[in-house]
Amino acid sequence: MFNPLALLGAVTPRLVLNGALHHLRTAAREARLAAGERGRLAALAEAWRAARRRPGPPRLSPPRGVTAFAAEPRGASVTTDAGVLRVVAVADDVLLLRMAPATNFPPATSNAVVVSEDQWPAVAVEARAVGGLDLAAADAPPPVALRPGEGVVVRTGALTLSLSGSPCRLRLTGAAGQVLFDEAVAALGSPGVGFSARFGADAAFYGLGEKASALNHAGRRFELWNVDAATYTRGTDPLYLGVPFLVAQRGAQAVGLFLDDPHRAWLDVGATAPGAVDLRAAGGELRLYLLAGTPAQVLERYTWLTGRARLPPLWALGFHQSRYSYFPQARVLALAKELRRRRLPCDVLHLDIHHMDGYRCFTWHPERFPAPRAMLDELHGLGFKALCIVDPGIKVDPGYRVYDEALARRFFLTWPDGEPFTGPVWPGPCHFPDFSREEVRAWWGEQYRGLLDDGVDAFWNDMNEAALLTVPPGAGVPDVVQHAGGDHAALHNEYGALMARASAEGLRRLRPGQRPVLLTRAGWAGVQRDALHWTGDNRSTWDHLRLSLQMVLGLGYSGVPFTGPDTGGFTGGPSPELFARWMQLSSLLPFFRVHSVLGSPPQEPFAFGPRVEALSRAALERRYRLLPYLYTAAWQATQTGAPLARAMAFAFPADRRFASTDDQFMLGDALLVAPVLERGARAREVLLPEGAWHDFETGERYEGGRAVRCEAPLERLPLYARAGAVVPLWPVQQHVGERPLAELQLELRAYPGAGESLLYEDDGETPGGPHRLSRFERSARGLARRVEGALPGAPARVLVRAFGVDGPALRLRGGALGAQRREGDALCCELEAAGAFELEW
Ligand code: GLC
């Protein structure tokens, strides 16, 4: 049973009082700043009211007529009565739409975009006025309403954007003349920006980051404003991590809208009219990228603009066991030994806030963790890595080094009068570093040195929305609080991503020979470059099990490929069945962690009795066997932006039956996962794409293009392989690196049919170290492996398990053929082949 009283360990009366007083103190502070003619009391009342008001979307003034047109090297600029609209061709398939009140556009600075103008590819652009429109002649003409046929056209090899009509409307068409959107309006408010467009009533919509609802957003409204969404449930919006990137999809044709503006934003995604999108942000210049292509191409472009995830070390793809919190250190070590004794594979143990001294970041609690180095040594000896939490709130505490340094160097967020902003978090009153400043990021990164030297392997940035613990909850850092890069209204949404950047940059600097492992809760466009992510404080309910898949798929569509839920649920305590099903699902999601709140019942895989322990072990062992496959999918994400866990609509966009499918998914290129998400269910339906599919374990063939019912007793997670796929497996290890790479036998499951599959291998930890890429080609007559690159110490023992093969293997080129045997309808043959080979049967 969940014991809420245990929470008192963290939520002390002092914390509650502080949290309650915060509202008053903040209102008083804001009133003091605003007081003048109005007088203190009136200003206080207004500040109090303003803090309670929920902001809404800005009003906009759409352009009615045009006054000037100028062709530019990469596009055109059109002056309207409501601002200047610039169309810039970034690439053939990427247009940037900018709108500002006047022609002198400020330099487009962005924390999200990493591609600078000089890195844009060359594009042939044609920009002209059409239909006899002539604005060049007049000096300062009054706005001219565009007559039918008149307008402006900007065209690249792949896209045409045209402006016409009165009021002015935009239309985007593809190379074949197909309309991608129509009736679009770009507009400014004062302040605020907006864009609306029609995509067709049958369009599906994906993306926007972390959203606790169905994968297809059609028919819903959303807000982008990162918050601590503790206790969220289906429909709660916003959550911790927003991404201002929406993909509108009609079959294989996708258009990405990426609003490069971190201000608070609101979206109506077909809620008012099917297929119509209206997006508004509270401030900034309108800077909207339009990306077009297949969903995979659009995501490739989006992650080109905002950066791709870096490859984590292989052990980060292993299993993580966490709890709020494991302490003292004897308990951590006992847990490590227990997992090993029970042979439950695990790579990482997490240390939540109780490892700190009074919740002071970068410290150890002297009684709970008297000898952290010895503990970490012992953990490492057992094959574990340790991960520590780090929050942004720095305890206001003269004498605490981190606080003293940051205060002296004026590194904290401030009120407009320069005084540091104070907000309550775990340690009580805290100040918050201004991560928008490069020197603050450099200093912050340096703070990790001590914990790294102690032997901590990985980190977790939490509460970085930035969350405050107020009573009642919900207050955030006020909009007027100052960052170097602007006020909090402009930088709030980027705070988490900037913290993650500061942390990751620091870790890379301090340990250049290692790939940092950082977990973040909050984030924004681009956060994928620096951190893994988890979906925050979910609950132990069946609906949250379903949500966790919907959210992971949605995040993948938003460019965030490494994410996963608190398996079993953070609050509540799962039933044994729910826990077992959750372990099955999470074992095939990119980030795999069990975590639960203070006071929750034990939530380790062995805490639910022998049956669930056995089921958990099976799920863990399957994950560890699949590591070479998962790692290859992870590498692909770093190359193309395609997520590890792919929505069916992403992987099979032409098949419109999948537009709203979010209870099954593709893991990498080859595996279709159909988890059981319902209590008591012992069977489910799976919608198979066209072509043949094979049971992952037995190779049994299923004709695709239809729904099949599959049996799913508690022991079974329905898992299918694409015909012609080759899936690489390793033997089970209790942790990554338990056995040297060279000793692992590589099993290649080759499913009937013809197809090409990849295997990416490296040493699993060195950044930019040697690697090799294998291409497997399965055909009716055999299996061939071609290899690029060399990897010293790569496994040379191969077991080919070729399903649907009648006879024995006849010939091997490139190695020595060993024992052969039949298992079911599979031919299993052992080979000694260090690199390329050709096997014929
Ligand atoms: C937040 C996090 C949660 C963590 C807790 C204590 O609620 O979301 O994962 O356990 O803080 O640090």
Residue pLDDT, tens place only, 787-806: 999 999 898 999 999 999 99
Angle between helices 576-586 and 610-625 (to 10 degrees): 0
Beta-bridge partners for 675: none
Minimum mean pLDDT range among 123-132, 542-551, 699-708, 718-727? 123-132
The residue to which tokens 């913290």 are assigned: 499
Task: Please provide the DSSP assignment of 143-187 as one string.
Answer: PBPPPTT-EEEEE-SSEEEEEETTTTEEEEEETTS-EEEEEEEEE
537 Cα nearest atom in ligand 1: 8
Residue 248 contacts residue 257 (beta carbons within 8 Å): yes
Q: Which of 352, 388, 459, 591 to mutate to test the pocket of ligand 1 (most atoms within 8 A of CB)?
A: 352
CA distance 230 to 211: 14
Residue 270 contacts residue 276 (beta carbons within 8 Å): yes
Residue 388 CA, ligand 1 centroid: distance in Å: 12
353 Cα nearest atom in ligand 1: 12
* 580 Cβ contact partners less than 8 Å away, ≥ 6 residues apart: 608, 611, 612, 615, 616, 619, 714
Task: Say whether 94 sits in a helix, a strand or coil.
Answer: strand
Residue 349 contacts residue 376 (beta carbons within 8 Å): no
Residue 645 CA, ligand 1 centroid: distance in Å: 25
Q: What is the pLDDT of residues 243-263, one digit of tens each?
A: 999 999 999 999 999 999 999
First to last CA, the chain: 58
State the chain's mean pLDDT as an integer.
95
Residue of 560, 363, 535, 540 lying closest to 462 (CA atoms): 535
Residue of 752, 750, 776, 768 lying closest to 835 (CA atoms): 776
Residue 462 CA, ligand 1 centroid: distance in Å: 7
392 CB within 6 A, ligand 1:
no
Burial string for 237-271 (b: 16+ CB within 10 Å, else e) reads: bbbbbbbbbbbbbbbbbbbbbbbbbbbbbbbbbbb
300 CB within 6 A, ligand 1:
no
Helix/strand/coil (H/E/C) assignment for every residue in 180-226: EEEEEEEEECCCCEEEEEECCCCCEEEEEECCCCCCCCCCEEEEECC
CA distance 528 to 306: 9
Q: What is the pLDDT of residues 701-717, one digit of tens each?
A: 999 999 999 999 999 99
353 CB within 6 A, ligand 1:
yes
467 Cα nearest atom in ligand 1: 1
Q: What is the pLDDT of residues 360-378, one digit of tens each?
A: 999 999 999 999 999 999 9
30 CB within 6 A, ligand 1:
no
Q: What is the DSSP letter of 728?
A: E
Task: Please provide the DSSP assignment of 640-672 as one string.
Answer: H---SEEEHHHHSTT-GGGTT--SSEEETTTEE
352 CB within 6 A, ligand 1:
yes
324 CB within 6 A, ligand 1:
yes
Neighbours of 31 (CB within 10 A): 21
Residue of 516, 479, 509 lying closest to 495 (CA atoms): 479
* 389 Cβ contact partners less than 8 Å away, ≥ 6 residues apart: 350, 351, 352, 353, 355, 459, 460, 462
Residue 336 CA, ligand 1 centroid: distance in Å: 21
230 CB within 6 A, ligand 1:
yes
Q: What is the pLDDT of residues 654-685, one digit of tens each?
A: 999 999 999 999 999 999 999 999 999 999 99
Residue 408 is predicted with a pLDDT of 98
Shortest-distance Cα residue to atom 12 of ligand 1? 353
Judge whether residue 493 has pLDDT over 90: yes
Q: Which of 227, 391, 461, 537 to mutate to test the pocket of ligand 1 (most atoms within 8 A of CB)?
A: 537
391 Cα nearest atom in ligand 1: 12
Burial string for 726-748 (b: 16+ CB within 10 Å, else e) reads: bbbbbebbbbbbeeebeebebbb
Report in angstroms the alpha-carbon separations of 733 from 347, 622, 716.
10, 10, 21
Query: Computed from CA positions of residues 86, 89, 93, 96, in that sequence, does the dihedral angle turn out positive or negative?
Result: negative
Judge whether residue 506 has pLDDT over 60: yes
Which range is most confident: 69-73, 106-110, 349-353? 349-353
- Here the tokens at position 344 are 């439950």
Rounded mean pLDDT, 334-345? 98
CA distance 83 to 78: 9
Q: Which of 7, 324, 351 to mutate to test the pocket of ligand 1 (most atoms within 8 A of CB)?
A: 324
598 Cα nearest atom in ligand 1: 10
Residues taking part in catalysis: 462, 465, 537
Residue 474 is predicted with a pLDDT of 84
Q: How wide is the angle at C-alpha 464 spanned by C-alphas 460 and 468, nearest 5°?
A: 125
Shortest-distance Cα residue to atom 4 of ligand 1? 324
CA distance 549 to 539: 14
650 CB within 6 A, ligand 1:
no
Task: Say whether 76 sits in a helix, a strand or coil.
Answer: strand
Judge whether residue 32 has pLDDT over 90: no
Residue 382 is predicted with a pLDDT of 98
Residue 323 CA, ligand 1 centroid: distance in Å: 9
Residue 133's pLDDT band, with cuts at 50, 70 and 90, is confident
Residue 38 is predicted with a pLDDT of 66
Rounded mean pLDDT, 168-195? 97
Residue 621 CA, ligand 1 centroid: distance in Å: 28
Report in angstroms the alpha-carbon separations of 370 from 9, 332, 358, 383, 496.
20, 13, 14, 22, 31
565 CB within 6 A, ligand 1:
no
Pairing of the two strands 220-224 and 242-250: unpaired
Residue 595 CA, ligand 1 centroid: distance in Å: 9
Residue of 411, 413, 406 lying closest to 488 (CA atoms): 413
Residue 103 is predicted with a pLDDT of 80
Minimum mean pLDDT range among 102-106, 504-508, 795-799? 102-106
Its pTM stands at: 0.97
Backbone angles phi, psi at 741, to 5 degrees: -50, -45
463 Cα nearest atom in ligand 1: 1
Report in angstroms the alpha-carbon separations of 752 from 287, 409, 520, 694, 779.
49, 65, 41, 8, 8
462 CB within 6 A, ligand 1:
yes
Judge whether residue 614 has pLDDT over 80: yes
391 CB within 6 A, ligand 1:
no
Angle between helices 372-381 and 329-341 (to 10 degrees): 10
Q: Which of 462, 519, 603 to mutate to test the pocket of ligand 1 (most atoms within 8 A of CB)?
A: 462
- Here the tokens at position 294 are 């297949």
393 CB within 6 A, ligand 1:
no
Say whether the peptide bond before residue 238 is cis (omega within 30 degrees of 0): yes
Burial string for 797-812 (b: 16+ CB within 10 Å, else e) reads: bbbbbbbbbeeebeeb
Judge whether residue 5 has pLDDT over 80: no
Residue 269 contacts residue 220 (beta carbons within 8 Å): yes
Residue 522 contacts residue 551 (beta carbons within 8 Å): no
228 CB within 6 A, ligand 1:
no
CA distance 283 to 287: 11
522 CB within 6 A, ligand 1:
no
- Here the tokens at position 106 are 């400020």
Sheet architecture: strand order including 563-564: 563-564, 532-534, 518-520, 458-461, 385-390, 348-351, 319-321, 592-594, 566-567
Shortest-distance Cα residue to atom 7 of ligand 1? 537
Query: Computed from CA positions of residues 369, 371, 374, 376, in that sequence, does the dihedral angle turn out positive or negative?
Result: positive
Neighbours of 202 (CB within 10 A): 13
- Here the tokens at position 116 are 């600078």
Beta-bridge partners for 250: 253
Judge whether residue 582 has pLDDT over 80: yes
Residue of 106, 72, 76, 75 lying closest to 91 (CA atoms): 75
465 CB within 6 A, ligand 1:
no
Residue 61 CA, ligand 1 centroid: distance in Å: 43
CA distance 672 to 677: 15
524 CB within 6 A, ligand 1:
no
CA distance 647 to 651: 6
266 CB within 6 A, ligand 1:
no
Burial string for 49-83 (b: 16+ CB within 10 Å, else e) reads: ebbeeeeebbebebbbbbbbbbeeebbbbbbbbbb
Q: Which of 463, 469, 567 to mutate to test the pocket of ligand 1 (most atoms within 8 A of CB)?
A: 463
Backbone angles phi, psi at 343, to 5 degrees: 55, 50
Pairing of the two strands 242-250 and 253-259: antiparallel
Q: Which of 232, 389, 425, 464 to mutate to test the pocket of ligand 1 (most atoms within 8 A of CB)?
A: 389
667 CB within 6 A, ligand 1:
no
Residue 453 CA, ligand 1 centroid: distance in Å: 25
322 Cα nearest atom in ligand 1: 10
Residue 241 CA, ligand 1 centroid: distance in Å: 15
Helix/strand/coil (H/E/C) assignment for every residue in 619-636: HHHHHHHCHHHHHHHHHH
Which H or E run includes 451?
A: helix 449-454
Residue 1 is predicted with a pLDDT of 52
Q: What is the DSSP letter of 241?
A: B
Shortest-distance Cα residue to atom 5 of ligand 1? 324
- Here the tokens at position 201 are 């009533």
Residue 518 CA, ligand 1 centroid: distance in Å: 15
Residue 360 contacts residue 633 (beta carbons within 8 Å): no
Shortest-distance Cα residue to atom 10 of ligand 1? 324
CA distance 809 to 817: 9
Minimum mean pLDDT range among 575-579, 609-613, 793-797? 793-797
